[in-house]
Amino acid sequence: MSDSDSIGRSRWWVFRRPLLKDWLFLVGVALGLAAIVRTIVQADQLGALTIVLNVLFAVPAGVLFAGILGGIIREYRRGKSTAAHI
């Protein structure tokens, strides 16, 4: 989806579709996977419930973080380029 196609879509969605072609979504998944690896490495220092919760929420948290931070930057750039064309 190009930036000009995204003008009519809902403003709460920052990822492009399909998701697997959006670098921002893939960065979020990579952050989540890195958090899972960190949890596994530190497993001897953490409790069982903490390990389970970290593994369950790592990828969604990574996607949320990348979506918020990267989405702010992406929407700013979209708005700036749209304003330049007006």
- Whole-angstrom Cα distance, residue 69 to residue 86? 26
pLDDT of residue 1: 47
Chunked into runs of 10 residues, the chain (86 residues) has average pLDDT values of 53 82 94 96 94 96 94 88 78
pLDDT of residue 79: 86
Instruction: Please say whether the beta carbons of 33 and 63 come within 8 A.
Output: no
pLDDT of residue 64: 95
Please give the C-alpha separations between residue 50 and each of 30, 31, 38, 43, 63, in angstroms, as whole numbers. Answer: 20, 18, 13, 9, 20
pLDDT of residue 2: 53
pLDDT of residue 14: 80
The beta strands (E) that lie in the chain are given as none
Instruction: Please say whether the beta carbons of 62 and 30 come within 8 A.
Output: yes
pTM: 0.77
